[in-house]
Chain A
Amino acid sequence: MYQGVTTSVAISERADLAYERVFEAHWADVFRFALAWTNDWTAAEDLAQDAFVRLWNQRDRLDWSRPVLPWLLVTTRRLATDRFRTLRRRLLAPTHEAAIDEDPSLRARWLDVCAGMRELSALERTALVLTAVQGATYDEAGAVLGTTPGALRAAVSRARAKLENA
Chain B
Amino acid sequence: MARFIWYITKRILSYIVMIFVATSLTYFLACAFMSPRSNFESKTPRPPQDSIEASLDRTNLNDKTPVLERYQRWLGGILTQWDWGMSPDGDSVNSQIAGRISASVELMTLATVLSIAIGVSLGVYTAQRQYLWQDRFWSGLASVFMVIPTVVLAILVVFFAIEINQQTGARVFYVTGLSSYTGDNMFLAFIDFLQHILLPTIVLTIISAVGYHLSQRTYLLDEMHADYVRTARAKGLTKKQAIRKHALRASLIPTSVQVAFSIASIFTGAVMTEKIFAIHGLGEYFINCINNNNINGAVAVAAFSGACTLVGALMADLFAAALDPRIKMS
A and B associate: no
Interface set of A (CB-CB < 8 Å, partner B): none
